[in-house]
Amino acid sequence: MSKRCDIFFPESKGSVSVLAGTNLLEILQREGLPISSVCGGKGKCGKCKIKVIGETSPPSEIEKKFLTPKEIREGIRLACQTKVLGNVVLYPFLKEEKHRAKILAGGIEKKITISPSIKKEFCEIPVPSLGDSLPDWERILRACGLSYGRGSISLLQRLPKILREINFQVTIVRSKDEILTVEAGDSSAHCYGVAFDIGTTTLVGYLVDLRTGENVAVVSRVNPQRSWGQDVITRIDFVSRSPDQLQTLQGVILNVINEMILDLAKQAQILHHQIYEAIFVGNPTMIHIFLGIPPDNIANSPFVPVFRSPITGYAQEIGVRINERGLVHCLPLVSGYIGADIIAGLLVLPSLSSPKSSPFLFMDIGTNGEMVLGLSGRLIACSTAAGPAFEGGHIHHGMSALTGAIEKVAFRDDVHLEVIGGKAPVGICGSGLIDAIAGLLDLGLITPDGRLLPPEEAPSHVPTKILERVERTDSGTRFLLYRNEDKEIFLTQKDIREVQLAKSAMKAGIQVLTKEAGIEMEEIKKVYLAGAFGNYIRKESAQRIGLLPIADLNKVVSLGNAAGIGAKMCVLSYRIREKARQIAEKIEYIELSGREDFGDLFIQAMAFE
Ligand code: FES
């Protein structure tokens, strides 16, 4: 019989038993414990650090590349490279993330007229008699003024009891001609909907009152799928290996969504089965995995999703914990990389065709960069692999916007840092990274071609304390952002190259859009930034590194979590949902990898001007 090992988690006071030889990343994923895993366990990112005491496989060559000898002596290991051989004690570095992440839920709200598709009505139905022997179901239809209506066998099975429970006084819940459920007595005062933005990094859920349009509650979480890779490609790679692995990641997202629904219901002091409709938006990969649909072909040319049109199903069928007969909708997609989140974000814009704001540019910068150019009613979109650099991936000391991340860097006589949570820094997130590069460009320590100058080549005006931070090492020049006795955080030449690649991909994409629309960049009247990154970056820094290709920053509007707000609008109005469908159909998608000019534009955009 194979040997079993006990794994103890002293901080969560739990333990599990696993087969000897199981790797630590797999254990943490299975137990739902947060772990940073940019590369999904391939030994390429060095982010899955964990402290372990006990009998394990010896440090691999990969670990020796990412860990210092001191870290190895202290029991720090890469979870994806370490196998358990006996009983061990594990100390994950990431704590329960729901309380620690800086997640953007709010944003610019648009005034709408509500027209929910769910109607809930209290009816006193005539009691059957010898003179009125209409069947129960037809009695319900008659109360709704319908000669024909759709229902379900499960409802018919329960209907006689419900009708007779309070003497034929019932509340009918319906969506157009479909009777979703019938409840005993008068429950018409409670009719709710939820809207979810499933981001690659974060999840936000909103609870709204479908009768009044009121925002009732909001919750957010870090997407637990991050333990299987930071970007969509790594997650597609994981789920495409077997149907079980797709089911694993679908289960992970459904579990957390259902937890969030219960949290929303708890906050609002309602019952989760009083929620009758749910809207989901997200990028195409996130939506495919959420629905358990294989996203494999999105990762390979010609990048084809399984579906594009809006999807509607029953909560029970999908496994979403609202009323089991409630409806679940996913907004439409446009392509393998332009998803329902972009469509929802566009719904929030004041107008898609007003001459006052047209042409406009809509940008959502995250692990991918999606852009839509609007011009006199035309919508042209593209997506670039911005890479996870702006989310801290592939950056030596990069991390997401969690407690301990340097989120702001200012250069005066010395470097001044702002850290999320106000504690000692443990890494740097996208907004801090862009500030740091912009500041070093201003000082002339980074050249326009992206080279970090060694101390001897630094311009003479650089303040001494800042100059002392430039260090020459065997692996190249680096800039020290923070150091104490156990931690140092620096910016490497490779980090600067990663940011250069990401920003030039974005800029070249925008140039393709303007070329396609036949306009110059200067003609753009508004730039709308959607998502957390667009909200937290300093616009001046983004402009300085060339990520915001616009001279007048007054034209830039941060929308906040436009995807979430747009999703909320769709649960409150079926008319807006229809508009979302029309927008998706109207978008002209440009696949950049199929454009001959993209490569040249990309190379030209590499320089920091
Ligand atoms: S090196 Fe372990 S997850 Fe990337």
**Atom of ligand 1 at shortest distance to CA of 79?**
2
Contact 35 CB / ligand 1 (< 6 Å): no
> From the CA atom positions of the chain, what is the Rg in Å?
27
Q: How far apart are CA 46 and CA 62, in angstroms?
A: 9
- Segment 48-73 shows an average pLDDT of 91
* 69 contact partners, CB below 8 Å, separation of at least 6: none
Could you tell which of 37, 63, 399 is best to mutate to test the pocket of ligand 1, judged by most ligand atoms within 8 Å of the CB? Answer: 37
Residue type for position 101: A
How far away, in angstroms, is 235 Cα from ligand 1 center?
A: 13
Contact 48 CB / ligand 1 (< 6 Å): yes
Predicted local confidence at residue 25, as pLDDT: 93
Which tens digits make up the pLDDT trace of 434-467?
999 999 999 999 999 999 999 999 999 999 999 9
Residue 193 has pLDDT above 80, yes or no: yes
Indicate the range of 287-291, 388-392, 462-466, 496-500 predicted with least confidence: 388-392
Predicted local confidence at residue 101, as pLDDT: 65
Please choose, from the candidates 573, 410, 600, the residue with its C-alpha nearest in 3D space to the C-alpha of residue 508: 600
Predicted local confidence at residue 349, as pLDDT: 94
Predicted local confidence at residue 1, as pLDDT: 58
Please choose, from the candidates 101, 38, 37, the residue with its C-alpha nearest in 3D space to the C-alpha of residue 387: 38
Please choose, from the candidates 110, 91, 182, 529, the residue with its C-alpha nearest in 3D space to the C-alpha of residue 347: 110
Q: Take residue 379 and report the two structure tokens written for it.
A: 């919508």
Contact 401 CB / ligand 1 (< 6 Å): no
Q: What is the DSSP string of 265-330?
A: HHHHT--GGGEEEEEEEE-HHHHHHHHT---GGGSSTT---S--S-EEEEHHHHT-SS-TT-EEEE
Q: What's the burial of 119, exposed, middle or buried (CB within 10 Å: 0-12/13-18/19+)? A: middle
Residue 486 has pLDDT above 80, yes or no: no
Q: Take residue 189 and report the two structure tokens written for it.
A: 């005062």
Predicted local confidence at residue 404, as pLDDT: 87
Could you tell which of 35, 39, 62 is best to mutate to test the pocket of ligand 1, judged by most ligand atoms within 8 Å of the CB? Answer: 39
Residue 92 has pLDDT above 80, yes or no: no
Contact 82 CB / ligand 1 (< 6 Å): no
Split at pLDDT 50, 70, 90, the class of 99 is: very low
Q: Are 6 and 87 in contact (CB under 8 A)?
A: yes
Predicted local confidence at residue 108, as pLDDT: 83
How far away, in angstroms, is 536 Cα from ligand 1 center?
A: 27
Q: How far apart are CA 50 and CA 92, in angstroms?
A: 5
Split at pLDDT 50, 70, 90, the class of 98 is: very low
Contact 44 CB / ligand 1 (< 6 Å): yes
Split at pLDDT 50, 70, 90, the class of 474 is: confident
Residue 9 has pLDDT above 80, yes or no: yes
Residue 199 has pLDDT above 90, yes or no: yes
Predicted local confidence at residue 94, as pLDDT: 63
Q: Take residue 241 and report the two structure tokens written for it.
A: 């290996």
Q: How far apart are CA 395 and CA 412, in angstroms?
A: 24
What's the start-to-end Cα distance of the chain, in Å? 65
Which tens digits make up the pLDDT trace of 253-276?
999 999 999 999 999 999 999 999
Contact 43 CB / ligand 1 (< 6 Å): yes
Q: Which residue has the higher pLDDT, 10 or 132?
A: 132
Residue 102 has pLDDT above 80, yes or no: no
Which tens digits make up the pLDDT trace of 381-429?
999 977 667 777 788 898 888 888 999 999 999 999 999 888 889 899 9
**Atom of ligand 1 at shortest distance to CA of 80?**
2
How far away, in angstroms, is 481 Cα from ligand 1 center?
A: 24
Predicted local confidence at residue 296, as pLDDT: 96
Contact 444 CB / ligand 1 (< 6 Å): no
179 membership: H or E segment, kind and range: strand 178-184
Residue 565 has pLDDT above 80, yes or no: yes
How far away, in angstroms, is 556 Cα from ligand 1 center?
A: 37
Could you tell which of 27, 42, 61, 227 is best to mutate to test the pocket of ligand 1, judged by most ligand atoms within 8 Å of the CB? Answer: 42
Contact 50 CB / ligand 1 (< 6 Å): no
Q: How far apart are CA 567 and CA 192, in angstroms?
A: 14
Contact 80 CB / ligand 1 (< 6 Å): yes
Predicted local confidence at residue 105, as pLDDT: 78
414-423 b/e with 16+ CB inside 10 Å = b?
ebebebbeee
Predicted local confidence at residue 35, as pLDDT: 85
